[in-house]
């Protein structure tokens, strides 16, 4: 009997020891696996590689133009689609209720006397015209105003409380200020708003509203108040659109009318000297026209 009890007790001890050893082994494996997980879950240190930025000065004329289009075309497309959406939604609202309060609010915002003028103001003009003005006013994105303020179109500022930068030189004792935008898209939206509500571009809006005359080569003739160059400005824009094939960004690809003479004959050898042209255009921007310049009067 005692032998049986002794044997039973011995078996219990062995079982207990086996249990303890098993527990220790399992605990040890858990600790090892946990440490391996912690090591594997830690983010690996990535060796920082310094990437030498491409200097703008080393880019060719074609590369500078391509870089400019890559910066401007996507936000322009966004604004263009938003403008069309507003136009169509307003058109539908006029059909439902021409006296709607929302329409009255839009008329006030766009300086429109009635719903017809409102639709003229809201209809976006061809992207080719916008691109031509952006390229000309910012010297293909090389001007100081574009680099420091995203100001694509040389738009002046008359509000001391809004973000802006000073022109490089003064007009007499007066400092000329230009608007500063957070993004290129903001600059494009403000440009469309300016064209839509300023009295200086009423003829432009009237012509643009007529689908059969939404030809960029005809429209730019109505932008003579945008620059001190007057009529020459429209001709230079036409040359810019034609030479750079900007009409390919429009729904309808118009050919340049023969009646419009080229104001500037752009030669390939002249294109190679873009830096000089950039300097000249930036200088023009830094010495704004006198207060009689119609496009930059406060509206």
Looking at residue 89, what is its pLDDT?
A: 97
pLDDT tens figures, 239-266: 999 999 999 999 887 777 765 444 444 4
In the structure, what pLDDT confidence band is assigned to residue 2 with cuts at 50, 70 and 90? Answer: very low
Query: Does residue 41 have a pLDDT over 60?
Result: no
pLDDT value, residue 211? 79
Could you please report the per-residue DSSP string of 126-183?
PHHHHHHHHHHHTTTTTSHHHHHH--SS--B---TTS-EEE-SS-BTTBPPEEE--SS
Q: What is the pLDDT of residue 207?
A: 95
State yes or no: pLDDT of 129 exceeds 60: yes
In 3D space, the residue among 150, 152, 136 whose CA is nearest the CA of residue 194 turns out to be 152
Please, what is the end-to-end C-alpha distance for the chain in angstroms?
115
Which residues, other chains included, contact 280 with Cβ-Cβ below 8 Å and sequence gap of 6+? none
What's the rounded Cα separation, in Å, for the pair 269 and 273? Answer: 7
pLDDT digits (tens, 9 = 90+) for 82-95: 999 999 999 999 99
Average pLDDT, the chain: 78
Cα distances from 146 to residues 29, 94, 142, 152, 180, in angstroms, run: 63, 38, 7, 6, 9
Asked if the model's pLDDT at residue 276 lies above 60, the reply is: no
Residue-range domain boundaries for the chain: 60-296
């Amino acid at each position: 009997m005692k032998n049986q009890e002794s044997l039973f007790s011995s078996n219990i001890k062995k079982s207990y020891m086996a249990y303890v050893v098993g527990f220790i082994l399992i605990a040890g494996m858990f600790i090892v696996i946990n440490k391996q997980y912690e090591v594997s879950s830690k983010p690996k240190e990535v060796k920082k590689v310094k990437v030498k930025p491409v200097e703008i000065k080393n880019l060719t004329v074609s590369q500078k133009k391509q870089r400019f289009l890559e910066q401007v075309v996507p936000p322009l497309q966004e604004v263009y689609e938003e403008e069309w959406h507003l136009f169509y939604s307003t058109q539908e609202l006029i059909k439902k209720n021409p006296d709607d309060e929302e329409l009255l609010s839009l008329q006030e915002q766009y300086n429109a006397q009635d719903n017809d003028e409102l639709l003229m103001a809201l209809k976006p003009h061809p992207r080719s015209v916008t691109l031509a003005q952006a390229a000309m006013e910012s010297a293909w994105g090389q001007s100081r105003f574009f680099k420091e303020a995203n100001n694509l179109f040389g738009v002046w500022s008359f509000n001391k409380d809004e973000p802006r930068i000073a022109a490089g030189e003064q007009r007499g004792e007066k400092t000329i200020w230009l608007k500063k935008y957070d993004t290129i898209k903001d600059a494009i939206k403000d440009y469309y708003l300016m064209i839509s509500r300023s009295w200086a571009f009423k003829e432009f809006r009237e012509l643009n509203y007529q689908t059969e005359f939404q030809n960029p080569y005809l429209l730019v003739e109505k932008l003579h108040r945008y620059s001190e160059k007057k009529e020459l400005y429209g001709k230079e824009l036409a040359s810019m659109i034609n030479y750079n094939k900007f009409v390919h960004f429009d729904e309808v690809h118009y050919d340049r009318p023969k009646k419009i003479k080229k104001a500037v004959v752009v030669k390939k050898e002249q294109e190679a000297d873009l830096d000089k042209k950039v300097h000249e255009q930036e200088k023009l921007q830094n010495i704004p026209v006198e207060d009689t310049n119609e496009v930059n009067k406060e509206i």
